[in-house]
A and B are shown apart, each in its own frame.
Chain A
Amino acid sequence: MKAVSKRVVVLLSLLAVVVSTALAVSLVARLEAPASIRDLGKYYIANTRRDTSSPEAVTAIVWDYRGLDTIYETLVLYMAIMGGLAISTIARKVALKTRVGLTSITRTGTRIITLLIATIAFSIALHGHLTPGGGFPGGSALAITAMLIIPVYTLQSLLDYGVTSTRLVATRGLALTGLGLVAILPVIRGLEAVTNLRFYPSHVAGMLISGSLWFYNFFEFLAVASGFAAVALYLSIPEELYREEIERG
């Protein structure tokens, strides 16, 4: 009881510090963002539609105005995931004990939720040039389905469906190759890399794809989803298998 009351006292004093700091910053110091940065925002709002044919300014900035930044960012994430997988790989084929998953109520619920998450993930990614979202949030949302299936249906069932780590890593490699190709293709017509509308069409079959933005979103979606799913697969390998592997040398 005494520990609980001490916790509450600390928490209340913490909240008091937060509130008083917020009041001090806004009322006494009067810190405000300089008005000059608004011009940058106004430029993007006024010109995004003309420059990139996308109504979504954030996706346009991420993949068009600052496209090269994002491509290097994707590379960094790729290196990080590959590094993580490299130290956690078990070279030999491991025989997983097929354990039973959770109860049928959980299984049915997970089946419905997984379908919903996957649908939303695809719509976030493939609509990324029209509505908020894009490749990265869509891919992370799709990877969550793998993280739901593994505890509920066991890892073995996912492997039986053909979702193996080798295939996921291969998908990731292919998707990143596609991403690089989309960025480099304009060079063959003498344009600079990461060119958008001067090389890619803004509409395909009457549908707005905003040039290269749709392709970037699609490949990023595949890369992020397969990368995070591969991480989940490796993390769910039981610890005993790793211990055996270390003892074998």
Chain B
Amino acid sequence: MSEVIATLILLTVALLLSVVFVYYTITEKDLLKAAVFSAGQSICYAILLHAMAAPDIAMTYLAVSVGLYSALLVFVISKTERYEA
């Protein structure tokens, strides 16, 4: 029973933290920082998927949304301006 409660607390914290990260990603004017916040949101989702016993999805999600997606964003930002006017 205590295991279930611990999982629920982990789920709640990760979910709420992801909302915070999403809000900061959207409102941040420095695009590089926004990319880092977006990666933080992805880490929260990976924790969620792992807590809900889906390690396959968590692994794919980590590789794609924390690794590839963030790297892609940094490459694209390097081709344009770093700060949103």
Contact = CB atoms under 8 A, between A and B. Distances in A.
Interface of A: 7, 10-11, 14-15, 18-19, 58-59, 124, 132-134, 136-137, 140-141, 143-144, 147, 228, 231-232, 235-236, 239
Contacts of A14: 19, 23
B20 A11 contact: yes
A18 B16 contact: yes
Contact of B64 (A134, A140, A231, A236): A140
B8 to A, nearest CB: 11
Overall SS of chain A's interface: helix
A137 B27 contact: no
Contacts, number: 56
Contacts of A124: 59
Interface residues of B, number: 21
A242 to B, nearest CB: 9
Given A11-B20, A15-B20, A235-B76, A137 B59 contact: yes
B59 A132 contact: yes
B48 to A, nearest CB: 13
A121 to B, nearest CB: 8
Nearest to B20: A11
B63 A137 contact: yes
B39 to A, nearest CB: 12
A143 to B, nearest CB: 6
A235 B74 CA distance: 10
A134 B56 contact: yes
A147 B67 contact: yes
